[in-house]
């Protein structure tokens, strides 16, 4: 009996020692927290243990694109945190592109201190977010309470050293604007996540490519916006998580390869040559290139008296125009590489002016197909399609090359990437091969000119074909306008679209003052010139818009609100922060919209903006007085609402304007 009692007491001691005791939770908005102690592996730890309401989250040490990092600091100056152990976070994607590193449900952030004697207090700061973000700043007391199980549970989730835990980061290599991170695992990779941290540099995960053969390895590409020399040999800290379970982390140096990195050592020059040839051929069937070849054929068919010899010479000249144009592109690439500049087929499309030029060329081409103009404006129609002789046919080929650059055919990207990673001779060879691929239909017809006789005789079908080709060009124009919108914004793209419509009407109209040929040319040239002013106009408008926003929204001044309301003014207060995603969308969709800004200005509404990106006791006190602890927070004051009207977190312009009227604007 005595032995049984001893065994029971011993078992009870083990049970009690394994659970938490003497630990009280501190209740905060949508969360509760505590400081606990515990041991694991013979080492003593403390931990900030936070439990969150359902669907709410807080942020990791690096919050990502949006959010505010959780932090813990001792109140006493003689207490120093030695090491911190952060469990691996979850990478949350919002609105398609914004990535945040978060914790949900519960987490324990573990740390060590030397010879701490309870009670001890710690400053804890975090933002807890759902649709709104609530900043929390609180002092939490450690009373000596312990919870070994929680300490062990979350220590197990802390990323291990690289090469352990079945995961390994094999290499980190610089590839111009991308950093390539190769990883491997002893188990299949399932939704791996990579987080990159570096001093003074921001990295974003561009993509992840899994080895489909074995699923035990893959490559992350990290994107950055810095110069090559600034990134080369830079220190980077990486955290890799597999299947939200196993995690590793470690510091690495970004290696800059001494020799250019080729896409794959297994790709021989012969394979790349075939890719270039095939890619060039496929370009002929892209919507921006197909009309060129088709118009060439139509021009030949329409001249029934043209001999086979002339047909052969015509297509040979067009083939030479294509091949020499690609050789010129290759030579330009080699020159740019020698000067150390970033190169690639299509990089000229980073220049809005070039995109505008291509769009205008396509508009003229489409108008010509639809017979909206017959004049030589500026001789392009006659030279490229209908001028007999070598020059016209040669320019036809060069024009095909020009229109091929917006289109990307399968296989072309791989061939160009390989070409630009090799020496000048290989680059020239591959570009020439690509030109031969694009010229293959022309070379085929030059070799067998009698194939022209297989085409139907001229008739109504030619006009129907022209309408179809014009539709392809219209689709290409729309795509190019979307590209321009991504660079200059939708307003600039809409302006150019309207100018294109005006050009079309100017070319097609044969009445009124546009009946005169010289007047028509003058009007069209004027519209073309205006199109090239769009980038400058857009840049000016951006600065003008920023100044306008600053002029409407003034710094928050709580002490002035009551006086402004007594004088009959309506006051709008916007409490915001850079880490608040909902705040950014409220600004974009409502508060900073031009029509809303015009409304505020026209009705003499006083707009104030309080920024709590960094802690602000003054703004925090204002929010507390309103019994509000989260942002976004928007309040409308006026003669009819001196205490303020608090709006919902998600704003619309109608909600805002209705609240302004309710506050007293309608009475004035």
Summarised one tens digit per residue, pLDDT across range 302-346 is 554 667 788 788 888 888 988 998 888 888 777 766 655 444 455
Structural domains of the chain in order of their starting residue, each with its CATH number: 18-155 (2.60.40.1250), 160-256 (2.60.40.10), 269-532 (no CATH), 546-667 (3.40.30.10)
Q: Is the pLDDT of residue 47 over 90?
A: yes
Task: Give the residue from 485, 229, 480 showing the smallest Cα distance to 362.
Answer: 480
Residue 545: band (very low, low, confident or very high) from pLDDT cuts 50, 70, 90: low
Residue 418: band (very low, low, confident or very high) from pLDDT cuts 50, 70, 90: low
Angle between helices 424-447 and 308-338 (to 10 degrees): 170
Q: CA 227, CA 176: separation in Å to the nearest integer?
A: 8
What are the tens digits of pLDDT across the range 338-397?
655 444 455 455 567 777 887 888 888 778 777 776 544 334 444 444 445 677 778 877
Pairing of strands 98-104, 90-94: antiparallel
Percentage of the residues of the chain whose pLDDT score is greater than 70: 78
CA torsion 591-594-596-597 (nearest 10°) is 80
Residue 405: band (very low, low, confident or very high) from pLDDT cuts 50, 70, 90: low
Q: What is the DSSP letter of 534?
A: H
User: Quick one: tokens of 650?
Assistant: 């998600």
Whether the bond between 373 and the residue before it is cis, its omega within 30 degrees of 0, is: no
What are the tens digits of pLDDT across the range 114-169?
878 888 999 999 888 887 788 888 899 999 899 999 999 999 899 988 877 778 89
Q: CA dist 583 to 54, 331, 613, Å? A: 22, 50, 11
What is the maximum span of the chain, computed from C-alpha positions, in angstroms? 122
Average pLDDT over residues 20-43: 84
Q: Is the pLDDT of residue 72 over 90?
A: yes
- pTM score > 0.75 for this model? no
Q: What is the DSSP letter of 199?
A: T
């Amino acid at each position: 009996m005595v032995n049984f009692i001893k065994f029971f007491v011993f078992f009870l001691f083990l049970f009690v020692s394994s659970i938490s005791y003497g630990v009280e939770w501190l209740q905060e908005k949508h969360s509760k927290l505590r400081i606990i102690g515990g041991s694991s592996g013979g080492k003593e730890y403390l931990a900030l243990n936070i439990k969150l309401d359902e669907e709410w989250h807080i942020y990791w040490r690096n919050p990502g694109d949006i959010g505010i990092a959780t932090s813990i600091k001792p109140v006493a100056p003689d207490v120093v945190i030695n090491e911190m152990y952060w469990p691996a976070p979850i990478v949350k994607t919002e609105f398609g592109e914004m990535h945040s590193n978060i914790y949900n449900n519960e987490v324990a952030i573990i740390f060590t201190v030397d010879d701490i004697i309870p009670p001890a207090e710690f400053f804890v700061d975090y933002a807890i977010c759902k649709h709104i973000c609530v900043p929390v700043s609180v002092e939490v007391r450690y009373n000596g309470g312990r919870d070994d199980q929680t300490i062990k549970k979350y220590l197990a989730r802390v990323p291990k050293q690289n090469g352990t835990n079945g995961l390994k980061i094999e290499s980190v290599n610089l590839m111009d604007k991308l950093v390539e991170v190769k990883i491997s695992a002893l188990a299949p990779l399932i939704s791996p996540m990579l987080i990159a941290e570096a001093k003074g540099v921001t990295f974003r995960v561009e993509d992840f490519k899994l080895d489909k053969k074995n699923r035990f390895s893959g490559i992350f590409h990290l994107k950055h916006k810095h110069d090559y020399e600034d990134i080369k040999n830079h220190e980077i800290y990486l955290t890799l998580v597999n299947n939200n379970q196993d995690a590793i982390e470690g510091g690495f140096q970004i290696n800059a390869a001494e020799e250019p990195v080729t896409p794959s050592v297994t790709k021989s020059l012969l394979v790349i040559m075939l890719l270039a040839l095939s890619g060039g051929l496929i370009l002929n069937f892209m919507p921006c290139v197909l009309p060129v070849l088709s118009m060439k054929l139509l021009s030949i068919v329409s001249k029934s008296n043209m001999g086979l010899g002339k047909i052969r010479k015509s297509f040979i000249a067009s083939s030479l125009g294509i091949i020499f144009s690609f050789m010129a592109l290759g030579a330009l690439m080699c020159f740019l590489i020698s000067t150390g500049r970033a190169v690639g087929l299509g990089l000229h499309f980073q220049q809005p002016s070039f995109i505008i030029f291509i769009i205008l060329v396509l508009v003229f081409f489409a108008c010509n197909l639809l017979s909206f103009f017959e004049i030589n404006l500026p001789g392009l129609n006659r030279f490229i399609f209908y001028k007999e002789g070598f020059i016209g046919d040669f320019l036809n080929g060069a024009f095909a090359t020009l229109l091929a650059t917006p289109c990307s055919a399968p296989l072309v990207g791989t061939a160009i990437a390989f070409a630009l990673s090799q020496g000048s001779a290989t680059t020239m060879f591959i570009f020439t091969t690509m030109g031969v691929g694009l010229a293959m239909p022309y070379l085929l017809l030059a070799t067998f000119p009698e194939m022209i006789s297989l085409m139907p005789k001229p008739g109504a079908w030619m006009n129907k074909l022209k309408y179809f080709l014009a539709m392809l060009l219209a689709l290409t124009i729309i795509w190019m306008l979307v590209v321009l919108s991504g660079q200059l914004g939708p307003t600039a793209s809409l302006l150019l679209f309207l100018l294109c419509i005006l050009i079309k009407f100017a070319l097609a109209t044969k009445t009124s003052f546009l009946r005169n040929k010289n007047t028509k040319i003058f009007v069209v040239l004027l519209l073309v010139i205006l199109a090239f002013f769009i980038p400058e106009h857009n840049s000016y408008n951006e600065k003008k818009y920023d100044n306008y926003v600053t002029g409407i929204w003034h710094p928050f001044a709580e002490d002035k609100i009551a006086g402004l309301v007594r004088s009959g003014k309506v006051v709008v207060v916007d409490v915001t922060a850079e880490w608040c995603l909902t705040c950014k969308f409220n600004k974009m969709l409502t508060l900073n919209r031009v029509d809303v800004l015009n409304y505020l200005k026209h009705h003499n509404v006083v707009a104030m903006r309080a920024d709590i990106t960094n802690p602000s006791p003054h703004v925090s006190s204002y929010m507390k007085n309103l019994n509000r602890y989260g942002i976004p927070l928007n309040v409308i004051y006026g003669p009819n609402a001196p205490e303020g009207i608090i709006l919902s977190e998600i704003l619309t312009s109608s909600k805002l304007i209705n609240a302004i009227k309710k506050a007293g604007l309608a009475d004035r």
